[in-house]
Amino acid sequence: MIRYKADHMNKYIIIHGHFYQPPREDPWTGLIERQESAAPFMDWNRRITAESYAACGSSRVLDGNGSILSIINNYSYLSFNFGPTLLTWLEKEAPNVYQRILEADKESLKRLGHGNAVAQSFNHTILPLDAPESAKLQIEWGLADFQGRFGRDAEGMWLPECAVNESVLDILIEKGLKYVILSPWQGESIIQTNGRKKSLEAHPAPSNRPFKINRPKGSITAFFYDGELASRISFGHLLRSREGLEEALRGAFSTEKTKLVTVATDGEIYGHHEPYGDMCLSALIDHLGDESDLQFTNYAAYLDEHPPKEEVLLRPGDEGRGTSWSCSHGVGRWMRDCGCSTGGEEGWNQKWRKPLRIAFDSLKKEADPIWKKMVSNLTEKTADAVLTEYGKVVSGLQTSSEFVGTILDDQYSDSDAVNLLVAMEGAKFLQFMYTSCGWFFADISGIEPIQNMRYAYRAAELLDSKGTKGLIERLTRRLEKVESNIQIMGSGSDLLRGLVIPKIQPELKAAALFFWRHLYNLPGLDYAEWGSLQGKGTTRRTVDTDEGELRLEGEISYEETSTLRSYKFPYRTVIDEHLFCPVIELMDGNHWTSVPIKSMPTVLRMEIQKTLLKRSEKRLMVSLGSKVADRLMDLKVVSALDLPFGATRWQSLELALHYGPMLILKRMRKMKPRDWSESLELMDQILGRRVEYGVDLDAGNIEQSAGLIVSQISEYLEKHSDKAILAKLIEFLGILQQHGLRPLRPFVQNAVYALLEQRFNRNEEIDTEKDSPCRSEILDLAYLLNINPERFVNGYE
């Protein structure tokens, strides 16, 4: 039952956000490599998470002075879908954001009777171009992923690029889905309630009501979004003004009888493509409130009260292949040079699309029988049914070992488990190579087509490891027909050899990765799980020492968690007098292979660099930072004597002032806040002197370290009443603010805002508890972080 205000004057808004990033993991290690175009972030997942996904989950509503009035979870009001591969990454790498998404679905379910979350087929293939069994698998994997995460069955599904045809609709109906979201240009004609057929001709399908699509084995509802309004939001900068957005939404209600306006956009428009777009949306949500005539709802909730009365027929698209929202030719953009492209230069073409798809189609046709035969040799279950079950592993909802236990009988061997998982991984990558982004942009040399070629090559490698079936050979030959627009890039086979095929055997690189983790004592050491690799231990023996050099040998053991294959490699290496090891040699069969440290994943090399530099920095911080009080006293004495301080002493003072605050913060993290007094006094003195002496401290690192302290204490105060700790926290923040430092503001503001919500929603007796902070002290904390708590105060009063 719908929980929103039942008022015949209500007008309902559905704004749908399609949140998606293509899978970016290295198919050999499960790690995402550094992407230079995403700078200053490591990769595009991290950049867009910061700019959009995290921002939408905790979006700021500001007052006229720029202070925070409210922090809103936009997902609680947006209809939304997240790509399953993106959710898998968010769950691991951005758990706070992931939880906000899950919480929003639960909150909207409580408010509306139906959750805002919508399912998506798995890795964003163009379903009408998939083989029927692959389209079915993509939908089944997407539904299983949704149920596993949101704890309920999906009611609707977002189709990648809104791409649909009759075959796809039949699968959706078979799976019990209630609705799909489509572009208004995908509708061809309407069958009215009187039975008359009305052609839409060149007009968009109405977006103010749902329509039924009838098929031989059932029906499904179609919601068409308002194309003009969606375009203005996505490309017309409507998200730069709350007033402008509201005016546009109200204007879309063309008549008094219009009850519904629906909009569908890429979710990344809210904060990434349109900076602060999330704040425009949250400002509108906040402004409308619960009593407005405009009410946010979702498709399932609206459908409950307003079932479709008319039927719609969809356009068949070119050659009857189907239609989409971003290709005026139907689905040509993902199979041929149809004229639709993004990012190309003058004179470029997309003739590469067709031979690329042909190469992948040919690979799949040849590889499918191989993995299916591998499965049939191990179990009586059908290969397709086993692959459907494997979707839980791909989503991270089940481990490889758990999956093997559900498929094979109790007497299976280790080799049986490996063979089953190798077959599944090969089949998985045969799906991943069709991810739509590989055809969307202007040239085959882009990161998206290269990633798809990596998946294709990995699938061929897994299913034909000895090369006896010729999968890699034929894939390479077919890619010769794929030509880049950039002459120096050459053909698809050139790109395969230059950018896809590993220069060093992946198994050896993985072993070297665990060696360097072991050598430099990195977190988790050599037993850590690293992408799809699990360390099993590294032995180390000293062979010889010579002029400061140390010669080592030993063995490295690890497991590939995706296939449960175990590896053990002997190694030998030399470590110089500075404890640096630039290369390791690994025994592969009867040959030693050199693996240089520069070949390691960027994230590991950065971690090693940080570790090595941190050691020297730590020594400097302890030796110089601990002398900061003495250095300040020396300066005071020399100044009183009216004598020059001296260049060497000035350098010593600057270094002491630089390292002093970081050393103090490090000590504060280990102390109880009640014992901070001396540290805070010295911190205040140091920060004050830096201006006086013109010393530029490392403000970024100070703010980051201080922010972690503030956030941890704020989270503690959510659960515990402690007036003394709150007082110290306020004192600490006051000192930082006085000296122009703002510790990790968004992160800390979220924690303190949650504290405000929690404390002001308790009953009045909290103020009388022993040692409990009073509300005025919590308000002081809010003001220090630029949070305007007037709504909490007014609500309490």
Q: Mean per-residue pLDDT for 270-285? A: 96
> Among 284, 239, 273, which Cα is nearest to 74's?
284
More confident residue, 631 or 3: 631
Question: Which pLDDT score is estimated for 700?
Answer: 81
pLDDT, one tens digit per residue, over 145-169 is 999 999 999 999 999 999 999 999 9
Tell me how many helices (H) and strands (E) the chain has: 28, 21
Residue 105: its pLDDT value, please? 98
What pLDDT sits at residue 658? 80
- Kindly provide the b/e burial profile for residues 463-499, where b requires at least 16 CB atoms within 10 angstroms of the residue's own CB: bbeeeebebbebbbebbebbbbbeeebbbbbbbbeee
pLDDT in tens, 720-733: 778 888 888 889 98
pLDDT computed for residue 491 by the predictor: 97
Tell me, what's the pLDDT at 610? 79
pTM over 0.85? The answer is yes
The tens digit of pLDDT for each residue in 190-213 reads: 999 999 999 999 999 999 999 999
Average pLDDT over residues 646-668: 82
552-560: long-range contacts at Cβ-Cβ below 8 A with a sequence spacing of 24 or more? Answer: 556/511, 556/512, 556/514, 556/515, 556/518, 556/526, 556/586, 558/510, 558/511, 558/514, 558/533, 558/534, 559/533, 559/534, 560/510, 560/532, 560/533, 560/534
Nearest to 102 by CA among 89, 92, 117, 114: 117
Q: Which DSSP state fits 117?
A: B
pLDDT score for 546: 77
Q: Is 644 exposed, middle or buried (0-12, 13-18, 19+ CB in 10 A)?
A: exposed
CA distance 395 to 495: 29
- pLDDT average, residue stretch 348-358: 97
Rounded to whole angstroms, what are the CA distances from 310 to 212, 213, 302, 314? 6, 9, 16, 13
**Tokens 């592993």 — which residue?**
393
Q: Is there a contact between 312 and 213 (Cβ–Cβ < 8 Å)? A: yes
Per-residue pLDDT tens over the stretch 548-605? 788 999 999 999 999 999 999 999 999 988 778 999 999 998 899 999 999 998 888 8
370-410 confidence digits (pLDDT tens): 999 999 999 999 999 999 999 999 999 999 999 999 999 88
Write the CB contacts of 22 (distance below 8 Å, at least 6 apart in sequence): 83, 85, 123, 124, 435, 436, 437, 448, 451
pLDDT band at 101 (very low <50, low <70, confident <90, very high): very high
Confidence of residue 795 (pLDDT cuts 50, 70, 90): low
